[in-house]
Structure 1
């Protein structure tokens, strides 16, 4: 009987923390890709793997990179032209002067927070590295979906470069379902339609 009770409790615990699909859409019901969803609980060790922020077709790839505090990031330049990568962001200010190829040593990101990347040669090159404080953090796919080990009553944190309150804004949203949930957000227009001369939405206010 004792074993049966133990099995029932284990099943209930596993079921309560089963992965749930969360979907994020904007005010036009369009999926919000490249948003980062973070849990306040659930520690994650610093990965040994070196993350990669490439430069292809005069763009950072991926545009949004999620890493853990203490992780190394490599910055290869796969273009045939030189780039000059830099950031003035408080968690990690750095500069990689004009270069091509992949000879640059990886850089350690020891402080949690948002690092906004730019290129001194190409003003339209904007990228983001979100350094998680060794907490569970995942990025939405092209359909605006993520799968997370959450349950009803939990709260998750949301970051998107399209936040109306600025690129450093974090929004808290509550989980009210046990199966799946869709969140509708008021956001700036999608990146590809935005005016690059604007002083918000691309991290320019943070530099």
Structure 2
């Protein structure tokens, strides 16, 4: 059984946008923005300092999703990532801390992966003319497969699993960004599979005749 062994990483990527910390402005009375990590179509991601956490967990990631102008179905889609992450607890899944609504912004707090994502790691290796060792590839692949198996056991499909959505922290890969994931879809697949297997095992005379 593969073990999840933590090791310090040194991955570097494009520098994040620096934002001077504002000690007088707290989010949810505990988080201080340190810098902006990225911005997408629907959300902005920040590195924050948790003033109420223990020293080892001071740095976290804050994902802000403006929901003020969203339609009801878009709001559900925006919050489902937090709903799914809150159900998961596995070394290969990005750790979820909490979510809350701050004015018209939905916020998700997750662990900070200082080694960025797998896409960033591969880009760095390409830039420096290096490659991943075979043992390292096998280790990360095993971790990733265990994480995928874990979410599939809980009837969850990620639907957007790619290098940019796989984060690295202390040499452990973490599946994140479940904003496009869906739950209970696997139940439908299971139903059709069981029905198909039943048809294969039935005697021909017991099967419903075709209607032309």
Could you say which structure has the larger radius of gyration? 2
TM-score with structure 1 setting the length: 0.30
Structure with larger RCO (C-alpha < 8 A, sep 6+): 1
Higher-strand-fraction structure: 1
Higher share of residues assigned helix: 2
| Structure 2 length-normalised TM | 0.29
